[in-house]
Structure 1
Amino acid sequence: MVIGAGGQIGRPVVQALARDGWAVTAASRGGARDAAWDEGVRSVRLDRADGTALAAVVGDGCDLLVDVVAYDAGHARQVTGLAGRIGSAVVISSVSVYEDGAGRGFDTMGEPDGFPDYPVPVPETQPTVAPGEATYSSRKAALERELLARGAGLPVTVLRAGAVHGPYSPLPRELYFVRRNLDGRRDRVLAYRGESRFHPASARNIAELVRLAAARPGSRVLNACDGQAPTVAGIGAAIDAVMGVETRTAHLDGPPAGSVGQTPWSVPRPVVCDMSAAERELGYRPVVSYAESLPETVEWLTGVLHGRDWREAFPLLAQAYPDLFDYAAEDAWRTA
């Protein structure tokens, strides 16, 4: 059973498991089906917040429960409460749970000198934020702690995903370059010399990790990212290549000047995760590189944007980055 099957990660997870021979029940709020799914996939409607409904869908039991949308300790307790009916589970968490040696993490990024100084790469043994209810990161930390507290009673693989990318994303960072190219903007500005690295995670690679963990149940925490972490300048060049355009890039040596130079990957220090544990424990090899994944992402974004305002199409991205396309500020910066 896959909870959250209709979303960015859930769709390829269902496809990967079905292809591997699993009889899959795809549960989502709308009960949607993906055209790529095998005909044998059963789709059902499920409100993730309704524990009674979740228990009813699980029914007499399932060999594997994959929870793509679990968010906090309450969701974890819903899963662990079904331990007698579940063979094993795979649950998606986030690399945002990590903090550095000075107590800095994703929650302190907006503070002066609040950006974390992580080791490169970040192993799963890196300290995490205190579990709680206040923030996304603390809720994910609480989710992890509650799940893993069951020990051998319910084997759970927790996958800490990086900057997830691919079709159906509610927060498509690639839009930064795609929309500029569609708008004919051939000049761009990148902060931190375009060298920022924020480890991406293809939804298809996450699905591969789910598939591998499903075949080897156990209680573990693993990073879930692509094989490489390209720079923001490299991401822009790769998207340009897919779209067949040539651009010119100016660089800021330091942080953005207001909105100028700011991208969804622009960070003053690298966030790169160690994937060796997944390779060692599961035999993980990425099924797609970042560059190889881009054509379908660009095609999907282009289709969604057609005739629509980007803020209407992607409200979550607009909320996180309201000035992502401040062309007037960029033009003023160039002529200053």
Structure 2
Amino acid sequence: MSRTELQTLAERAVDLLGGEPDDTTLRRYLHGLPGVDAVGLEQRAAALGTRSIKTTSKAWALDRIIELIDLTTLEGADTPGKVRSLVAKALTPDPSDPTCPRVAAVCVYGDMVPDAVAALGGAHGDPDDGLISVAAVATAFPSGRSSLAIKLADTAEAVAAGADEIDMVIDRGAFLSGRYGLVFDQISQVKQACRRADGTYASLKVILETGELNTYDNIKRASWLAILAGADFIKTSTGKVQPAATRPTTLLMLEVVRDWYRATGQRVGVKPAGGIRTAKDAIAYLVLVAETVGEEWLQPHLFRYGASSLLNDVLRQRQKLRSGHYTGADYVTID
């Protein structure tokens, strides 16, 4: 994204809001959105989770899941060696099968970005082109409890080190107390801090931490607020708070990006993160995407799984399918 494109998006947000994005204007807009029918949302998510998939599509689905994974290590004990091991797995998920695709990205703390970039070497780049991005969590992840100056410095340092994507957390306390203008301003300024020396921008994923937002209405409002402020992706969770990603919450966020696209023509990505551990679960999320926003969203710049253990189960199921020992009897399936 260029500076001109970013300015256009900001102008579009002002047009939609009917004024500058202060607390009053944002409250009027966000609280004017239709309320969420919680029962209906959960019923739709459950129904989509029972769809069936043709046997010939299972191999495609498993490979596509791998191609959409952000392989993650976000522990205080992370070391350069652990990051190199993570990158090795990202590059060659299944050493026994050279046809196995690569993951979309590796996601690390900001100080580990140089190690990830160095380990990727020539494979560092756009996952839509078969390469691997480096994503960095920033803005005092996972709490978001720091000054704006520190959040901006955290972001700018990671981008300067080679991060292609920034996963920021919103100030949930500010959001829940109705300080929408503050949240908007912080997202907008972090987006500006994603600017590279060449004038392009790292992709910004805005983490809502849905497990702390309490209601579906709040999740819907936070999703709209993040997109209005310039998010390239909206992301459910840090993975540090429960509940993390759920199908109803992800469905709701997909409906928001669908409605945004219909209103503006701009596509925004969605990233469920935390708690998606099995291929069966991941396939159910593919269904949510395909049925809500369309199959064109099933590509790395529009949908990701935030996961640390999902890849292992997908590889097991993929090996079973190749060996003929996989029946798919316990899988959510797609017609």
Name whichever structure is richer in strand by fraction: 1
TM-score by length of 1: 0.25
Higher relative contact order (CA 8 A, sep 6+): 2
Flag the structure with larger Rg: 1
Higher normalized helix content (fraction of residues): 2
